[in-house]
């Protein structure tokens, strides 16, 4: 049996990464894993916090959602050794958190057998702590007023302005179209020659005034029409995903008309100047917040290499056999085989006196249980 010692790890890599001097492809050991969701009722996307060690220091981090499968399959587990192919440092005030985007398992937990070395906790100010017992606390990450992100995992280099190879497609207030986009940088040119830092979706909070996200559109249903006491209107709903998580965005009336024909599913955009507000957990549980896109909002297509950007939203599937244990009004994901579909029907909405199409389908999964699911609107055809 092979002998494993601390020399397999990239000693000092965690401290160097926190200081912006990350070595290329460091080797780290996983010391702990904790799963959580944004919804206290058990709905929402599954996410994972991890504790990692370089043999000298240990620190906390989060896994990008596209790595979830490596957790559920036990490919990534406590004490395994991984190579970090790509990660981000999310700076939130004085606190820094590692977000791991791409990991390669070099040695399994079964092969390694235990913790290598006696790593000490690295404080957010990069000072060493006397603690030698790394832990992963199951608590939400802080969402303070300002968040910044820098890309690491490769040798650092000065950020220089890059020429625009392709004129960007820009959708927003025409008075704001004086900005440009610099190559693969995380900095976006803003009116007046300033820059904005691209931040992860999970770093957004209502106390931020200036922010930009870089995210892929994963959902864009048809415009929805409504009629209430204030009159008729239109709603556009978009869902965005990046390496850190997901968020829903909504636009109304003229703003919905402006964005709908220009935003396409699966394309990546820079989004800024939206209003951040607490999410209504009855309808959306994958983030604590959601966006409202208004007259000042800008959406600009990203022409950088986005091949490593998540292409789909993350799911936390629930077995049909376990649905009875879920609280009422929980938001859940189900995957199954459609064994029957009822005839197309319709109901009349009392508030608007309009007919809405509906169809009942029956789903069955590996639990052997079935459930009737009702589909509404244009999705029924």
Q: What are the two backbone dihedrals, phi and then psi, of residue 3, each rounded to the nearest 5 degrees?
A: -95, 130
Of 377 and 275, the one with more pLDDT: 275
Is 260:216 a contact under the CB 8 Å cutoff?
no
Q: For residue 174, give both structure tokens.
A: 């025409």
Query: pLDDT by residue (tens digit) across 126-146?
Result: 334 444 444 544 433 333 333
pLDDT digits (tens, 9 = 90+) for 6-53: 899 999 999 998 888 888 899 999 999 998 876 555 555 678 889 999
Q: What is the CATH number of domain 6-152?
A: 2.40.50.140
Nearest-angstrom CA–CA distance, 147 and 138: 21
pLDDT-based confidence at residue 2 (cuts at 50, 70, 90): low
CATH homologous superfamily for the domain 320-380: Nucleic acid-binding proteins (2.40.50.140)
> What pLDDT is attached to residue 44?
57
* Among 214, 219, 294, CA closest to 263: 219
- The pTM of the full predicted model, rounded to 2 decimals, is 0.50
Domain 170-301, CATH number (from 3.40.50.300, 1.10.10.10, 2.40.50.140, 1.10.3860.10)? 2.40.50.140
Whether residue 326 contacts residue 320, with contact meaning beta carbons closer than 8 Å, is answered with no
> How confident is residue 281, by pLDDT bands cut at 50, 70 and 90?
confident
Per-residue pLDDT tens over the stretch 299-348:
999 988 887 788 776 677 889 999 888 888 777 889 999 999 988 888 88
| pLDDT cut 70: percent of the chain above it | 75
Instruction: Please give the Cα distance from 52 to 56 (Å, whole number).
Output: 11
User: pLDDT tens, 212-269?
Assistant: 999 999 999 989 888 877 888 999 999 999 988 899 999 999 999 999 999 999 999 9
| Same-fold call for 170-301 versus 320-380 | yes
Do 153 and 22 meet the contact criterion of CB atoms below 8 Å apart?
A: yes
**Mean pLDDT, all residues of the chain:** 77
For the chain, what's the residue count? Answer: 381
**Per-domain residue ranges for the chain?**
6-152, 170-301, 320-380
């Amino acid at each position: 049996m092979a002998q494993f010692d601390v020399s397999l790890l990239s000693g000092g890599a965690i401290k160097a990464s926190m200081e912006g001097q990350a070595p290329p492809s460091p080797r780290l050991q996983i010391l702990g894993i904790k799963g959580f969701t944004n919804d206290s009722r058990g709905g929402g996307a599954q996410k994972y916090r991890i504790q990692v060690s370089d043999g000298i220091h240990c620190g906390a981090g989060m896994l990008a959602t596209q790595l979830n499968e490596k957790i559920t399959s036990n490919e990534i587990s406590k004490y395994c050794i991984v190579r970090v192919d790509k990660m981000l440092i999310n700076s939130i005030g004085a606190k820094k958190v590692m977000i791991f985007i791409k990991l390669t398992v070099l040695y399994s937990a079964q092969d390694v057998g235990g913790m290598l070395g006696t790593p000490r906790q690295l404080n957010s100010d990069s000072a060493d702590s006397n603690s030698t017992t790394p832990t992963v606390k199951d608590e939400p990450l802080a969402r303070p007023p300002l968040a910044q992100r820098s890309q690491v995992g490769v040798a650092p280099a000065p950020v220089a302005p890059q020429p625009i190879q392709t004129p960007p497609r820009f959708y927003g207030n025409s008075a704001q179209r004086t900005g440009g986009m610099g190559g693969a940088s995380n900095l976006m040119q803003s009116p007046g020659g300033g820059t904005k830092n691209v931040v992860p979706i999970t770093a957004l909070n209502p106390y931020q005034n200036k922010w930009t996200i870089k995210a892929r559109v994963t959902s864009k249903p048809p415009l929805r029409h409504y009629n209430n006491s204030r009159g008729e209107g239109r709603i556009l709903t978009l869902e965005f995903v990046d390496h850190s998580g997901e968020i829903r965005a909504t636009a109304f009336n003229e703003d919905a008309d402006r964005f709908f024909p220009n935003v396409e599913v699966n394309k990546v955009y820079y989004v800024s100047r939206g209003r951040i507000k607490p999410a209504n957990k009855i309808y959306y549980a994958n983030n604590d917040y959601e966006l409202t896109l208004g007259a000042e909002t800008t959406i600009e297509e990203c022409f950088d290499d986005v091949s490593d950007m998540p292409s789909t939203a993350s799911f936390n599937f629930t077995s049909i056999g376990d649905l009875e244990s879920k609280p009422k009004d929980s938001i859940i994901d189900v995957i199954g085989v459609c064994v029957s579909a009822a005839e197309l029907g319709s109901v009349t909405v009392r508030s608007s006196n309009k007919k809405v199409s509906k169809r009942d389908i029956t789903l069955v999964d590996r639990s052997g249980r079935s459930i009737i699911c009702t589909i509404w609107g244009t999705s029924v055809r």
